[in-house]
Amino acid sequence: MKKYILLVFLIFIALLSTVFFVYIKKSNSPIVTSINIPDMFSFHEEPSATEVQPSPILKDSYKISWIVVNDPNKIYLYSNLEDKLNSKDFATKYSCVNLVSGGFYDKNDKHIGLFITNFNQINDELEDDTFNGFLSISDKGEAYITEYPVFSPRISIQAGPIIMKDGIKINMTNTSDENARRIVAGINKYNNLIFISVYVDSNNFSGPKLSELPSIIENFSIEKNLNIQVAINLDGGVHSSMISSTNNISEASTVGSFFCIEP
């Protein structure tokens, strides 16, 4: 009798275990174990391939406007020394969603230093202590600011001086320094090309002295978490302009060349 009762009990236990197993297997809710992972790594989502035009900000009594171009393939360089269009007409003609003035030119309406547009070189390199850098974009959309010309760029412009390198400002002294609106191009660690304009709000043709510019850009990069690694000074003052969706900084005299950011 006892053996019979024990046998029935064991069969009951077996049936109960089978039912429980089938229920768990059919359940759609997985069993989750929560664990704590040490905070050893930080993850950064890279910017999307779009243009960003933040509103201007005030910094050290100067106003700063900037455009972050996450895809340098959208940037084209054009000379303006023949047509001499104003920035608004130029942006309309070339369907530019953003527009930034480019490099320097001389009194004879000739670009100063190397100038390459769409693989076509229209001016040669110049050895000069002030114009000591080259802003270039390759056919693969790689942006460079270098002390020497890069090989076979899609576009390239000589300008200067270089004001940041390896994320650190380059101090400089200039006996002929004067206050003027400044246009800067920088590249961050994500290969985004960043155009920056620094000027006085009440008189936007005025701005910092060139010797002030490296510190302003370095501090601005840190505060806005832009991670600018290298930066170069472009043509400024009355020969400069910047058009974005949030700001329009116009020129007072002919702009020698434009960077056109297309849709």
Q: For residue range 60-98, list pLDDT tens digits in order.
A: 578 999 999 999 999 999 999 999 999 999 999 999 999
Residue at 10 is within a domain: no
Q: Is residue 41 part of a domain?
A: no
- Residue 42 domain-assigned (yes or no): no
Residue 115 confidence (pLDDT) above 70: yes
pLDDT tens for each residue of 159-201:
999 999 999 999 987 656 889 999 999 999 999 999 999 999 8
CB-neighbour burial class of residue 255 (10 A; exposed 0-12, middle 13-18, buried 19+): buried
Write down the pTM of the prediction: 0.78
**70 is a domain residue:** yes
pLDDT at 236: 93
Tell me if 146 is assigned to some domain: yes
Summarize pLDDT for 27-53 with one digit per residue, the tens.
443 322 222 223 222 222 333 333 444
Per the structure, how many domains does the chain have? 1
Domain membership of residue 93 as a residue range: 51-261
Domain-embedded: residue 29: no
With respect to residue 9, please indicate whether it lies within any of the assigned structural domains: no
* C-alpha to C-alpha distance for 119 and 189, rounded to whole angstroms: 25
Q: Is residue 13 part of a domain?
A: no
